[in-house]
Amino acid sequence: MRFSNSFLDEIRDRVPISDVVGRRVSWDKRKTNVSRADYWACCPFHGEKSPSFHCEDRKGRYHCFGCGVTGDHFRFLTELEGLSFPEAVQQIADMAGIAMPIADPVMEKREKERTSLLDVMELATQFFQDQLQTANGARARAYLRDRGLTGRTIETFRLGFATDSRNALKEFLAGKGVPKEQIEACGLVVHGPEVPVSYDRFRDRIMFPILSSREKVIAFGGRAMSPDAPAKYLNSNETELFHKGNVLYNFTRARRAAQGANGDGTIIAVEGYMDVIALHQAGIENAVAPLGTALTENQLELLWRMTPQPVLCFDGDGAGIRAANRAADLALPHIKPGRTVRFALLPDGKDPDDLVRNEGRAPFDKVMSQAKPLAEMIWGREINAGQFETPEAKAELEARLKQLVAVIADENVRRHYQQDMRDRLNGFFQPQFQNRTNERRNFERGGGQNKGRPNDGQRGARVSGSGISDRLARSGLVRGHQELPALRESVLALTVVNHPALMQDEYDEIASIDYDSRELQRLWSGMLGAAAAVAAQHLTREHLIERLEELGFGGLIQSLEQQIRNARLWIATEEAAMEDAREGYRQALAFHKRAKALRWHKIELEREIAEATEAGNGEVIDQLMRALQEVHFEGLRLENQEAIVDGFGVLSGRVKKAANH
């Protein structure tokens, strides 16, 4: 059975080649970069001890640098597993969830017709190219020259011209023996029951051929030469070859540039044909564009097929900002680990063509270096949408952010976005809170003046409303000559010790907590051992404390209790209600993980800066230093969080017994 190219392309595109190859190899953890869809393994075709077999999802290819084998999904199955080609196609189709085509003479005829239509589109492209070079095309050539395009660029993108004639193209194709049915099927003429005589769709327009992923012309975009034309840009209508929402202009050329020897894997999505072409001429060959409409879900999937983090570049005017916001909302439900978008916003009133025409690529490269993550784009839009001076307005902002983040389908990414937005909210409202700090302290003391330095209890976080303060990021307290753990770690540990029922539902996560404090590491080992000896539902605080005291941790637990009570963090004590303790534990754990992640990120950036310094790569050093500064500021924001636990909890109340300790 003969399979159509469109069917083979579809199932190849739906199944990452790493899924096919990964069933027969073990990926090397050191060399593999999952976020970039770049995999390495020992070659399954020849014996070797070091991985030289490379598999790349975005190209859909594998290659062994040892024995030289190379191929795609189907070749891997036919050569390694001995399947016939139809069997290999069947297996990939099953993985893609697509039914195999039934041998159908009608379908085979349709595929032949598609091939014929591609031939017609090629003839039309050559006709438009030739017309651009005639006397009729002089005005169009002058326009392209004024836009700064060179002859080489015009030839590369095969730009052409449709004369102001109702039948020039139709007569040319008819003269080549093309039947009118094929001309109509290609969308090159306007026809129908209400049109007595069909006529050329494109007239008096500069023509931009639109290519498929196999670099065949499947449609055209036309830019009107007359300022009075009803539509400045006109695309081909939907045809057997062309579905506008599934195509990106310059797709294949941009993918090749991004993945080539000089590419960094980045794909830039700009707004129009001329933006793509101007950037290409300036040396930025990895740009694509939607076809005159807002970005669609299918086009976004095409971008992610090329790169895990495309950059969406929009004009800096109001329309561009609105388009960027629509794209952010479009992307948000579909992001996953290693799959997101960034946003580059151009100076107001400028488009990429404007930036590179006069000053080359440097201004555009600067815009790209300042591209914003999706989270920052969402945050900036919401806080710029109003004033937040009242509690009601703040609550509305918080509710809006929760609603936006809730659409993220991936659970892990959604959880991190929720934490990120909470952190941003706390930081956003923090300055207003800090301005009233002294006033609040006086109020809590009954209006008295602050005389001298307050003790730890006075400096602690509020019992209700604010909760655990930024001092969770610092230790600063000593037990004899032994420094106590950081307050955040003490809260985390003591909450579980005082409420061992947490281990019934959270055991795996609790068992994996990695403390910086050596004493808490030892305490945790003893606690987990004690918990393992008793069924989780029967583990009580009294039993756990007794066992830990037997292991010599009684003094440490008393010190942790005193540290917590001095800071008035009642939610970690045994008096806290279970629901409040659980919430406090989860938020403290989130802070703990975030702090460790920032620290490791800082270490990694410092290592990369050292390597870049040795290599003398100043541009990379500048980028890394900016990233390091962002990590530093993020750390400060984390340290200055006003609360990670909201008070003592609704069920706990302000327990007098706890307050009097």
Question: For residue range 197-253, what is the model confidence (pLDDT) as tens digits?
Answer: 999 999 999 999 999 887 899 999 999 999 888 889 999 999 988 988 889 999 989
pLDDT of residue 228: 87
In a domain, 314, yes or no: no
Looking at the fold, whether 130 and 9 belong to one and the same domain comes out as: no
In a domain, 17, yes or no: yes
The predicted model scores a pTM of: 0.56
Residue-averaged pLDDT of the chain: 81
In a domain, 335, yes or no: no
* Between 642 and 619, the higher pLDDT residue: 619
Q: Which of 307, 271, 266 is nearest to 291 (CA)?
A: 271
Looking at the fold, whether 133 and 33 belong to one and the same domain comes out as: no
Q: Is the pLDDT of residue 160 over 60?
A: yes
Looking at the fold, whether 481 and 615 belong to one and the same domain comes out as: yes
- The contacts of residue 590 (CB under 8 Å, 6+ apart) are 419, 644
In a domain, 504, yes or no: yes
The whole-number average pLDDT for the span 155-181 is 94
Q: How many residues does the chain have?
A: 661
In a domain, 490, yes or no: yes
Residue 540 burial (CB count, 10 A): 11
pLDDT tens-digit readout, 180-199: 999 999 999 999 888 889 99
- In 350-501, which residue ranges form alpha helices assigned H by DSSP? 352-359, 362-369, 374-383, 391-405, 411-435, 437-444, 456-459, 487-498
Residue 535 burial (CB count, 10 A): 9
Q: Which of 152-156, 446-450, 575-579 has the lowest mean pLDDT?
A: 446-450
In a domain, 131, yes or no: yes
* 420: containing domain: 386-435
pLDDT of residue 640: 55
The whole-number average pLDDT for the span 171-175 is 93
- The contacts of residue 188 (CB under 8 Å, 6+ apart) are 120, 124, 169, 170, 173, 200, 201, 202, 236
pLDDT band, residue 46 (cuts 50/70/90): confident
Looking at the fold, whether 115 and 82 belong to one and the same domain comes out as: no
Looking at the fold, whether 110 and 136 belong to one and the same domain comes out as: yes
pLDDT tens-digit readout, 393-420: 889 999 999 999 999 999 999 999 999 9
Looking at the fold, whether 121 and 91 belong to one and the same domain comes out as: no
The whole-number average pLDDT for the span 571-599 is 82
Structurally, the chain folds into a number of domains equal to 4
Q: Give the separation between CA 197 and CA 65, rounded to whole angstroms.
A: 60
Write the CA distances from 206 to 239, 273, 547, integer angstroms. Answer: 21, 11, 83
